[in-house]
């Protein structure tokens, strides 16, 4: 059952369960698109006196997605959905108060507050983060006032763009990867591949040669400085397992 009462996006009347049907939601579409959809409650607007959504016989499911079995005479399917979108008080076709409504409303608000700054070949994209799962469903996808995400993109000669990851993020990821792999070894998974991977993070040496990228060298230094006992164990295991280096 939906967390909130679902409302018609056109007239905002409460949608009522009128039938069950096999409607494919996004989870089913992604996980097994060719399978038969499961049975779901079909919600409809019963305000047939003047609501166009009711007259066109649209059906919503619990997550807010909308379906149309047969468009009215003289109306194409795409025309019916276009009309629904234009008449919607939210600007969206999803049922009001549904998960899809809250999610896409939040994405739209984040897009409104996002900014792009162009400096030569580089573009800095700034956008607010979502409030997050600690908030109720109707608020968690809305933009935060104080937390922001930053992305740097570089324009290439072939008119494509490359995402530039800041060096501190790469260092944090590499050090974290060392700790995760070492944790596997601690839990008894002393496979050569895990030990070799830890050695790569420790030494900054990959595929038999030194990796001179700055983030690799910084990460190797921090790993040896912060985790000397872990590094000592990895070196010992390298000898015991006869791993060539």
Residue 194 corresponds to which tokens in the numbers above?
């895990």
Quote the pLDDT of residue 1: 72
> What average pLDDT does the chain have?
93
Mean pLDDT, residues 87-92 taken together: 97
DSSP string, 56-68: TT-EE-TTS-EE-
Quote the pLDDT of residue 108: 97
pLDDT band at 54 (very low <50, low <70, confident <90, very high): very high
**Residue 245 pLDDT > 80, yes or no?**
no
3-state secondary structure of 56: coil
**Residue 188 pLDDT > 90, yes or no?**
no
The CA-CA-CA angle for residues 56, 24, 87, to 5°, reads 30
Using CB atoms within 10 A of its CB, is residue 200 exposed (0-12), middle (13-18) or buried (19+)? Answer: buried
pLDDT digit string (tens) for 197-241?
999 999 998 877 889 899 999 999 999 999 999 999 999 999 998
d(CA 222, CA 175): 8
3-state secondary structure of 154: strand
d(CA 15, CA 9): 10
d(CA 137, CA 133): 8
pLDDT digit string (tens) for 131-163?
999 999 999 999 999 999 989 999 998 889 999
**Residue 186 pLDDT > 80, yes or no?**
yes
pTM for this structure? Answer: 0.73
**Residue 56 pLDDT > 90, yes or no?**
yes
d(CA 245, CA 202): 12
Quote the pLDDT of residue 15: 98
**Residue 195 pLDDT > 90, yes or no?**
yes
Quote the pLDDT of residue 182: 96
93: phi then psi, degrees, rounded to nearest 5: -90, -5
d(CA 229, CA 225): 10
d(CA 236, CA 242): 10
Q: Given the structure tokens 């162009």, which residue do they identify? A: 118
3-state secondary structure of 164: strand
């Amino acid at each position: 059952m939906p967390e909130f009462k679902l409302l018609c996006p056109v007239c905002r009347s409460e949608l009522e369960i009128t039938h069950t049907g096999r409607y494919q939601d996004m989870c089913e579409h992604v996980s097994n698109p060719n399978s038969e959809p499961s049975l779901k409650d079909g919600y409809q607007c019963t305000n047939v006196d003047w609501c166009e959504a009711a007259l066109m016989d649209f059906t919503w499911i619990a997550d807010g997605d909308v379906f149309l079995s047969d468009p009215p005479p003289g109306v194409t399917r795409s025309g019916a959905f276009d009309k629904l979108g234009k008449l919607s008080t939210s600007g969206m076709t999803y049922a009001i108060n549904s998960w899809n409504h809250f999610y896409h409303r939040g994405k739209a608000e984040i897009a409104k507050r996002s900014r792009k700054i162009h400096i030569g070949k580089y573009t800095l994209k700034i956008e607010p983060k979502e409030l997050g799962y600690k908030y109720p469903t109707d608020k968690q996808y809305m933009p935060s006032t104080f937390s922001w995400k930053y992305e740097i993109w570089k324009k290439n000669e072939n008119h494509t763009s490359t995402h530039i990851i800041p060096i501190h993020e790469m260092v944090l990821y590499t050090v974290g990867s060392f700790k995760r792999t070492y944790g596997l070894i601690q839990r008894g998974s002393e496979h050569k591949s895990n030990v070799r991977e830890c050695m790569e993070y420790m030494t900054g040496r990959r595929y038999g040669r030194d990796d001179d990228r700055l983030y690799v060298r910084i990460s190797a230094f921090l790993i040896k400085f912060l985790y000397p006992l872990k590094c000592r164990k990895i070196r010992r295991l390298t000898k015991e397992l006869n791993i060539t280096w």
